[in-house]
Amino acid sequence: MASCTRSLALLLAVLAAASTAADAAGGVEGCGFSGKVRKITVQNLCNHDLPLVVTPHAGSGRLFGEGFVLPRGRHQSFLVCSWAGQLAAAASPPVELRLGVDGGAWYSADFTQLVPVHVTVTPHTDGGRLEGQCPVVGCEAGHGRCSRHIAAGNDCRNVDELKIIFFSA
């Protein structure tokens, strides 16, 4: 009986430790040893509500369900450990994203945006600084000019958040 009690106590301790680790990772599963939760934030600066479509790649889960509409002037953050896929809004070019569990990021947005809704992608870090080449890609709100198409060389590191901003042209 004492052996069963010790086994049960050990099992409960292991479950409590696992629960604490999941809480530390924001409840997001699959963060590996780093336990670091990252974000993909989408902001709508258009003058109308924006229907969004997501296409996950490489075994990534869905960021949101079918029929997701981001109200104008609002933003929504999605917690991930890593994610790869495409995000698109009505009347906007699609954005390709890859955010690794190690903080590496690759992202792409069209810089010849002859459409009613423009988009930019900007990497951010919670602490320290971004490393490598981490440009803003896409078109810049309010400036009417577009910049780079891609984060060059797959060399953007220490990224904790990719921010995608949609805005009216």
**Mean per-residue pLDDT for 8-12?**
36
Assign 114 to helix, strand or coil. Answer: coil
137-167 pLDDT, tens per residue? 887 655 556 666 666 667 899 999 999 999 8
CB 46, CB 168: distance < 8 Å = yes
pLDDT of residue 9: 40
Assign 70 to helix, strand or coil. Answer: strand
**Structure tokens, 79:** 């917690």
pLDDT above 70 (res 100): yes
For domain 31-168, give the CATH number: 2.60.110.10
- Per-domain residue ranges of the chain: 1-27, 31-168
H or E element, residue 75: strand 75-80
Dihedral sign from CA coordinates of 9, 10, 15, 19? positive
H or E element, residue 5: helix 2-24
**pTM, to two decimals:** 0.77
More confident residue, 70 or 58: 70
pLDDT of residue 162: 95
24-47 pLDDT, tens per residue? 334 466 576 667 899 999 999 999
Nearest-angstrom CA–CA distance, 82 and 119: 22
